[in-house]
Amino acid sequence: MTHRSPFSAQIVGTGTYLPEKILTNKDLEKTLETSDEWIRARTGIEERRIAAKDESSSTMAVKASLQAMKEADVAAGQLDMIIVCTSTPDILYPSTGCFVQKGLGAVNAAAYDISAVCSGFIYGLSIAEQYLKSGRLETILVVGSEVNSRIMDWEDRSTCILFGDGAGAAILKRTETQSPKGILSTHIHSDGSKAEMLCVPGGIGRERISSLAAEQKQYTLKMAGGATFKSAVKRMTEAAIEALEFNGLVKEDVSLMVPHQANKRIIDAVAKHLDLPLEKTFVNINRYGNTAGAAIPIALHESREEGRVKDGDLVLITGLGAGLTWGSALIRW
């Protein structure tokens, strides 16, 4: 017998922050053997944002969070927990979450990071959902923030064209009575046997940071593009179907799919496998590239700003990241 919680976990505010600097495909043509036409055709990306020298994952997260808090009418002191989803923390420790807590003045919140890269926000939603539906906590901030530009090899045209910087945030609140609105379910998975498919191989705990490793560019992102593409299409589709079946729903019930923004061809392939019309799929990768853990919350916020998400709509979220990690969430707005 399935136990149904008397509580719901609802997203009551969202926010974003995008750095001012724009790096276009035309800019990349000046330093790489590539072209605007090739990048657009292969990825759907036209430009991406690059953090300023004085910006970091924590500073961007604070700005996105403040916007979400304003919409939700939530003060810093009301936050019970801060979950920062990032693969580019400010420093090794303390956590970026603690810097965000300080920046917000959220003195009552437990704060920490999770590292699931592009799946990070889904993992964060899953954690928040459990705390809220159990009745343990009342208000949680989940924020994805990434400075991918700091871990790029800017001579590797296969990877550096793909990524950008930014932050997206969501405020989740517990509602005291069972409601048809809110997070219906979250589903998370991982496969560590494919860890080398997408990684930053330079060691910290396994081996010391070294100048030799830096010279060999071991602290920059490495990716097996073809294999990652195939895994993303397969796992994102599976996770989306899992969420629908778990809730006894079908694709026709979906108002909008907000997928991870890694590659326009991946998004199109997932929509095709789900037999979901492209007009029911939100895409903003052309403007920002892949912002990893920030991509889904940025897309979620912008879809709401554009009027693509209305009261009562069913929103399907799905994504895959390094680990490999992947997952989905189904939300009744």
Residues catalogued as catalytic? 118, 260, 290
Tokens coding 295? 């991509």
Residue 236, judged by CB atoms within 10 A of its CB (0-12, 13-18, 19+), counts as: buried
Q: What one-letter code names the amino acid at 203?
A: G
Residues whose CB is less than 8 angstroms from the CB of residue 31 and which lie 6 or more positions away in sequence, other chains included = 154
Nearest to 310 by CA among 328, 330, 332: 332
- Please identify which residue in the block is written with the tokens 């060999």: 216
The per-residue DSSP string of 53-75 comes to TT--HHHHHHHHHHHHHHHHT--
Nearest to 276 by CA among 307, 298, 249: 249
Give the integer Cα–Cα distance in Å for 309 and 290: 22
Give the integer Cα–Cα distance in Å for 276 and 49: 30
Nearest to 8 by CA among 297, 244, 333: 333
Nearest to 145 by CA among 204, 99, 203, 80: 99
Strands of the sheet with 256-259, listed across from one edge: 182-190, 325-332, 314-321, 256-259
